[in-house]
Chain A
């Protein structure tokens, strides 16, 4: 079997993009001091929201907006419980995942077997289908959107006043509150952004990878996105590297299944493909163990991460 570099790179980009999108959203959420474990649920809501939007309007751009709205809906529901009603963030996040899985399955019943127009490349076919240049221009606009958002999120967090306020809220909510910033308001805004990004990440599955609906089609990628945020040390640039590293790990499974190791590394071909499938999750555990055992103990984590905001009147 020949090793097709172009096709491999395009597959890796396709696998990495949803992790990158969902991870960027979660990065902003966690920087504001909220731990939303419901990424998987919001991705599924976005997947069905985007698919439903695509079937009803026939316009992929409107479908992506519908996906973002569906993801943000899930996030605001999470915000209602954790921010306004001070519930436990970990348990509420898990509840959101269960809720998103159930609701997307239920809504998806009426869309099973239907297809949407795949959200393909926007560049002219001359370069989008070119045997070499497709590696740059052959992707869905969502891929470029994800890369732009890496720069935008890094710029927002480190170079703008709004980003400074958001980080202040995440590092010390009481101080931010005492100088007059609305902690709850900032956190609601961050959650809505994170939900919209997770929704678009979900739509990447139902509009781009396979333009049809399948139950639980995001296949646990939301959990990997959560791990990549920690892996990246809450930095947008490193998140890009982390997402693509995990993309490569997931591609290895497909590569092994297709018999890619046969020619140059027969020993690796003997390893069952389930081992490669487990690799990203194994990697997650290893990375988390290394980071938390270091002297700083993952010192980049926002100080108020996961703690409820309780101003003492």
Chain B
């Protein structure tokens, strides 16, 4: 918990020192929640998180680019991120369980481990 707080604080300081140089209201811009997507998308693995954070940065930059070039509202990037997390979490069931047809022709979930 201490390490996670420290790294989160570092992330905030980096954003302030590097990108913005001013503190304004709404300064953290919701990156904290995005970080939760990153850790799940990275399958709770450090290397995975590195890749996932780059993927999510692409959706941010892409959302801004889409706003300036084709005038799509930037909230679509948020919806896209949420749906990505939904699908990642839902796909776990296919990783952990095997779908098998039982005699009554009803698909049943059977523990695969």
Question: B75 near A99 (CB under 8 angstroms)?
Answer: no
Find chain B residues with CB under 8 A from A77 CB.
86
Find chain A residues with CB under 8 A from B78 CB.
98-99, 101-102, 105
B92 CB → nearest A CB, Å: 6
Interface residues in A, total, Cβ within 8 A: 21
Residue B89 is within 8 A (CB to CB) of chain A in the complex? yes
Question: A102 near B75 (CB under 8 angstroms)?
Answer: yes
B36 CB → nearest A CB, Å: 5
Find chain A residues with CB under 8 A from B81 CB.
98, 102
Stretch at the interface among A83-91, A187-195, A205-213: A83-91
Residue B13 is within 8 A (CB to CB) of chain A in the complex? no
Residue A97 is within 8 A (CB to CB) of chain B in the complex? yes
Residue A258 is within 8 A (CB to CB) of chain B in the complex? no
Question: B79 near A102 (CB under 8 angstroms)?
Answer: yes
Question: B93 near A99 (CB under 8 angstroms)?
Answer: no
Q: Residue B93 contacts which of A86, A91, A106 (CB distance < 8 angstroms)?
A: A86
Nearest residue in A to B97 (C-beta to C-beta)? A86
Question: B89 near A88 (CB under 8 angstroms)?
Answer: yes
Number of A-B contacts (CB under 8 A): 69
Residue A96 is within 8 A (CB to CB) of chain B in the complex? yes
Residue-by-residue, is A41-82 near B (CB-CB < 8 Å gives 1, otherwise 0)?
000000000000000000000000000000000000100010
A42 CB → nearest B CB, Å: 13
Residue A92 is within 8 A (CB to CB) of chain B in the complex? yes
Nearest residue in A to B76 (C-beta to C-beta)? A106
For the side of the interface on B, what is the size category? 20 to 34
Q: Which of A282-313 contact B (CB under 8 A)?
A: 313
Question: B89 near A102 (CB under 8 angstroms)?
Answer: no
Q: Residue A102 contacts which of B36, B37, B76, B93 (CB distance < 8 angstroms)?
A: B76
Question: B76 near A95 (CB under 8 angstroms)?
Answer: no
Q: Residue B89 contacts which of A95, A97, A109 (CB distance < 8 angstroms)?
A: A95
Question: A95 near B92 (CB under 8 angstroms)?
Answer: no
Nearest residue in B to A81 (C-beta to C-beta)? B90
Residue A127 is within 8 A (CB to CB) of chain B in the complex? no
Majority secondary structure of chain B interface residues (helix, strand, loop or mixed): helix
With A91-B40, A106-B76 as known contacts, state yes or no: A98 contacts B89, CB within 8 Å.
no
A38 CB → nearest B CB, Å: 10
Majority secondary structure of chain A interface residues (helix, strand, loop or mixed): helix
Q: Which of A104-121 contact B (CB under 8 A)?
A: 105-106, 109
With A106-B75, A106-B76 as known contacts, state yes or no: A95 contacts B93, CB within 8 Å.
no
Q: Which of B73-89 contact A (CB under 8 A)?
A: 73, 75-83, 85-86, 89
Find chain A residues with CB under 8 A from B33 CB.
94, 97-98
Q: Residue A99 contacts which of B79, B90, B108, B110 (CB distance < 8 angstroms)?
A: B79
Complex Cα distance, B77 from A86, in Å, reads 26
With A87-B89, A313-B110 as known contacts, state yes or no: A95 contacts B75, CB within 8 Å.
no
With A81-B90, A86-B93 as known contacts, state yes or no: A99 contacts B83, CB within 8 Å.
yes
B46 CB → nearest A CB, Å: 18
Complex Cα distance, B93 from A77, in Å, reads 16
Residue A103 is within 8 A (CB to CB) of chain B in the complex? yes
Nearest residue in B to A109 (C-beta to C-beta)? B73
Complex Cα distance, B81 from A136, in Å, reads 45
- Interface residues of chain A, those whose CB is within 8 Å of chain B, are 77, 81, 85-88, 91-92, 94-99, 101-103, 105-106, 109, 313
A-B residue pairs in contact (CB < 8 Å), sample of 27: A77-B86, A81-B86, A85-B89, A85-B90, A87-B89, A87-B90, A87-B93, A88-B92, A91-B36, A91-B85, A92-B85, A92-B86, A92-B89, A95-B82, A95-B89, A96-B82, A98-B82, A99-B82, A99-B83, A99-B86, A101-B75, A102-B77, A102-B80, A105-B75, A105-B78, A106-B73, A106-B75
User: A95-B89, A106-B73 are known contacts; what are 7 more A-B pairs with Cβ within 8 Å?
Assistant: A77-B86, A81-B86, A87-B90, A98-B81, A98-B82, A98-B85, A101-B75
